[in-house]
Structure 1
Amino acid sequence: MANDGLQRPLSRIHIKDLRLRTFIGFNDEEQRKRQDVVVNIRIDYDALPAARGDAVAEALDYKTITKEVIAHVEDNRFLLLEKLVNDLVEIAMAHRPAVQAEVEVDKPHALRFSDSVSLTMSASRAPR
């Protein structure tokens, strides 16, 4: 297909509702018992080279990112939601095609009368 002069914004990969279990929190019960967390990750990148050439090497490897996130969450302990979310942003941004990443982690039932508490962080770099 010919380039028709269209300007395109970055594309977005969205890893939705990744349900994991980890040790998170600083009270005694939280230190002894794994809790559910729900992870949502949005990564913006230039998908056009991959799309135009059907080129796997040009695509963002979201499967690898997801595996890294799962291992990190399940194999570690976190006192603060802030630490967990920051770590996951850094994992996403470690993949060079990523121009911007936003990570939200929900901690279901963290507060009485609330479905969940969540924290969102993001990072970005200049596009290549």
Structure 2
Amino acid sequence: MDKVFVQGLEVLTTIGVYEWEKGIRQKIRFDLEMGYDNRPAAAGDDISKALDYAALSSKVTAYAEQHQVELVETMAEQVASLILAEFPVLSVKVRLTKPAAVANAAGVGVEIERFTQRSLKAQSD
């Protein structure tokens, strides 16, 4: 399967379990990888058949900025669901990093991968 990716998408949002975190905005970073058939776009050099990663990035940014959650796990799940629902992808991998959350670490976070039903069906055939 072909992959389209967005790397290092940084967003300021309210995220965290501690009371002091609920009153501030913190930077989180998304690395996104989508399963998408690039052949139709490439065959005709046709942008209308390509996955619009600019629109996808804007949608993820707006969502993360507007939704307050406590856990990076929750944000990753919500963003994966958003992408699968609103873009014609077969799968999505979301790596969400919260920089400076732990002293002496560049960042902490989660990575999840989710699939559409048609992708799961194709894999089982």
Which residue of structure 1 aligns with residue 31 of structure 2? 40
Q: Cα deviation per residue 1:35-73 (whole Å; 9 max; x = unaligned)?
A: 111111001111101110122332111111111101011
Alpha-carbon separation, structure 2, partners of 1:97 and 1:31? 34
Alignment match of 1:56 (pick from 29, 44, 47): 47
Alpha-carbon separation, structure 2, partners of 1:83 and 1:118? 11
Judge conservation of contact 1:47–1:59 (CA < 8 Å) in 2: yes
User: 4+ residue runs of structure 1 moved beyond 6 angstroms?
Assistant: none
The answer on 1:111 being equivalent to 2:105 is no
Q: Cα deviation per residue 1:55-99 (whole Å; 9 max; x = unaligned)?
A: 233211111111110101111211111110011111221245311
Alpha-carbon separation, structure 2, partners of 1:121 and 1:82? 9
Greater Rg by CA: 1
Which residue of structure 2 aligns with residue 75 of structure 1? 66
Q: Going by fraction, where is helix more abundant, 1 or 2? A: 2
Alpha-carbon separation, structure 2, partners of 1:95 and 1:50? 19
The answer on 1:22 being equivalent to 2:13 is yes
Unaligned runs of 5+ in 2: none
Q: Which amino acid aligns with 2:69?
A: F
The answer on 1:100 being equivalent to 2:73 is no
Unaligned runs of 5+ in 1: 1-9
Equivalenced residue count is: 119
Give the TM-score of the pair, scaled to structure 2. 0.87
Alpha-carbon separation, structure 2, partners of 1:58 and 1:52? 10
Give the TM-score of the pair, scaled to structure 1. 0.85
Determine helix, strand or coil for the equivalent of 2:101.
coil
Judge conservation of contact 1:46–1:97 (CA < 8 Å) in 2: no
Alpha-carbon separation, structure 1, partners of 2:23 and 2:92? 31
